[in-house]
Amino acid sequence: MTPEFVTGFLSEGIKTTILLASPMLLAGLIVGLIVSIFQAATQINEMTMTFIPKILAVSIALLVFFPWMLQTMIDFITNLFVNIPDYIR
């Protein structure tokens, strides 16, 4: 294993991780911005008002994107296992 291989493999793993986490993070960000704008307009500063919509949005995003996320993880792991003989050399 060369240092270039290790850094490339680590880079691919980080890219896959960011790709898998992005739907939930974006859903939480968008809902958080909408709730913040609503709170600023109405001057209601209730803490639970921010958490519950974010939790719901992240849960819905997880349900919607789970098949795609699962397929992405399966592809990454399959590629890893198929190429083990090449990694050993």
Tell me the longest C-alpha to C-alpha distance in the chain: 64
* Strand spans (E) along the chain: none
For 46-73, how does the pLDDT look when each residue is reduced to its tens digit (9 = 90+)?
Answer: 888 889 999 999 999 999 999 999 999 9
∠ CA 53-57-60, rounded to 5°: 140
**Positive or negative, the Cα torsion across 66, 72, 75, 80?**
negative
Predicted TM-score (pTM) of the model is 0.81
Does the structure show a pLDDT above 90 at 89?
no
For 15-31, how does the pLDDT look when each residue is reduced to its tens digit (9 = 90+)?
Answer: 999 999 999 999 999 99
